C-alpha cells in the first residue's frame, strides 16, 4: 500500500550508526479509546471504551539488563535485525525490530514505532511488510507481537494487517510504569 501522500520511504536494515536515531524516535501515542479487558468465566472479552480526556502514553526508556547487554556484546542478537523507514529528507520515519526463533518458527515483532509526523502514511504497513518478507526468508510459520490494551490505534492497525488476538497477560506490566495495563498478544500466519 503506497503512502497516502505519495512520499517514498527507503526501507533498509539498520546499522550500528543508526542506534541513536532509533533510540530517540518518539513512540508516544494519544488515543480517545482503550480496550478494557473484561474477565468471563471461561476467558475474557475486549471492549473498546472511550476515554475523556484522550489518553497520551509516553513509553519510559528501556532499561537494558545485564543479559541483554551481554547478548549484544556476544553478537547473539546479530541475526535479529531492525529495519528502518527513512524519509526523503533523511529523517527517521520509523523502525521495526524483529527476532526469529527457529524452534517454533515464530518471528516476533520486538518493537515497531512510527514518528508522529509520518503516521497515517503507510510507514507502519511498509515496515511490517519488510518484517513479513524477513519472516518468509527464515521459514517462519507465524508472526507474533505484544501490545498494551490501551494502544487502540496500534491494535486497529494490526487487525487491519491481518493479526488476530491469541492471548492475554494480566501481570506482564505489574511492576513497571505501565502497571494496570494488560498485554495483548496478536499473531498472524506467515504465508
- According to the model, what pLDDT value does residue 71 have? 45
- 30, 31, 34, 167 from 52: Cα distances, Å: 11, 10, 11, 28
Smallest CA-to-CA distance from 117 within 158, 89, 146 is with 89
Q: 168 and 146 in contact (C-beta within 8 Å)?
A: no
Which residue, chain included where needed, has cell 521459514?
139
d(CA 127, CA 150): 22
- According to the model, what pLDDT value does residue 131 have? 98
- According to the model, what pLDDT value does residue 191 have? 81
d(CA 159, CA 31): 16
- According to the model, what pLDDT value does residue 61 have? 75
- According to the model, what pLDDT value does residue 64 have? 57
d(CA 73, CA 70): 5
Q: What is the pTM of this model?
A: 0.89
- According to the model, what pLDDT value does residue 4 have? 53
- According to the model, what pLDDT value does residue 5 have? 65
d(CA 34, CA 124): 20
- According to the model, what pLDDT value does residue 7 have? 84
Low-confidence ranges of the chain (pLDDT < 70): 1-5, 62-78
Smallest CA-to-CA distance from 96 within 79, 78, 114, 121 is with 114
**Residues 18-48 pLDDT 10s:** 999 999 999 999 999 999 999 888 889 999 9
- According to the model, what pLDDT value does residue 182 have? 97
Amino acid at each position: 500500500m503506497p503512502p497516502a501522500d505519495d512520499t517514498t520511504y527507503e526501507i533498509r536494515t539498520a546499522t550500528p550508526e543508526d542506534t541513536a536515531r532509533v533510540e530517540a524516535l518518539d513512540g508516544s501515542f494519544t488515543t480517545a479509546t482503550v480496550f478494557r479487558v473484561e474477565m468471563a468465566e471461561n476467558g475474557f472479552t475486549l471492549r473498546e471504551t472511550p476515554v475523556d480526556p484522550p489518553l497520551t502514553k509516553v513509553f519510559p526508556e528501556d532499561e537494558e539488563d545485564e543479559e541483554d547487554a551481554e547478548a549484544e556484546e556476544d553478537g547473539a542478537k546479530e541475526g535479529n535485525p531492525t529495519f528502518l523507514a527513512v524519509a526523503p529528507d533523511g529523517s527517521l520515519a520509523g523502525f521495526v525490530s524483529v527476532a526469529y526463533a527457529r524452534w517454533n518458527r515464530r518471528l516476533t515483532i520486538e518493537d515497531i514505532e512510527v514518528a508522529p509526523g509520518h503516521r497515517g502514511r503507510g510507514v507502519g504497513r511498509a515496515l511490517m511488510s519488510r518484517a513479513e518478507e524477513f519472516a518468509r526468508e527464515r521459514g517462519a510459520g507465524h508472526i507474533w507481537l505484544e501490545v498494551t490494551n490501551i494502544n487502540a490505534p496500534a491494535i486497529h492497525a494490526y487487525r487491519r494487517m491481518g493479526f488476530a488476538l491469541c492471548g492475554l497477560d494480566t501481570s506482564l506490566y505489574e511492576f513497571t510504569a505501565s502497571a494496570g495495563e494488560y498485554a495483548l498478544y496478536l499473531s498472524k500466519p506467515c504465508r
